[in-house]
Amino acid sequence: MRRVCFVFAVASVLVASALVAAALTSPAAALAAARERLEYDLQFEGVVDCGTFVDNFTDFFHVSETDEFGADGNLVRVLLHVEHHSNDVNSVTGFTIHEHGHFYVVEDLVAGTTTITGNSELANRKGTGVVVQDTGRIVLDANGDPIFFAGGRKHSNNVQGEQIYCDALS
């Protein structure tokens, strides 16, 4: 699976960073600084089997993270501002599309939800227009299952799955 993993990869990174931040921050230190800011880059590579060809992709993320702590020093919320770029290449023709986006992620550790808002990915193809577009707002429960979605549906991996990448590269 590809970009289904994209959304959940971000959620997984959130959980991992939340656990690391909680482990590295003592309650006493957290009381002194109710917020901690981090900045980092991530890269994911993979393939999507499109039948007659393979979509070889690389996703790049630049993340600005803010961890918020409660009065008791426990991590209560993780805020991410993410810049996303991706290169998708048709393995047979070499045709390439470039995706880009900016979005926000809020993981509420108290409520057990993750909310992703913004334009997580957008790709245009000359002569066709928009071929990939995940924009809007999606709320995931603690298991990563969508409980709310509002946004574009025509070219959305959230709605149509990985086939949109195959169609964009065909």
Alpha carbons 94 and 106: distance in angstroms, whole number: 37
List the domain range (segments joined by +) for residue 109.
3-169
110-165 pLDDT, tens digit per residue, is: 999 999 999 988 888 998 888 888 888 999 999 999 999 888 766 667 667 788 89
What's the domain count of the chain? 1
The pTM score is 0.77
In order of 34, 86, 135, 168, the CA distances from 127 in angstroms are 50, 20, 22, 12
46-61 pLDDT, tens digit per residue, is: 999 999 999 999 999 9
Residues in contact with 162: Cβ distance below 8 Å, sequence separation at least 6, in sequence order: 1, 2, 3, 4, 48, 55
Tell me the pLDDT band of 76, cut-offs 50, 70 and 90: very high
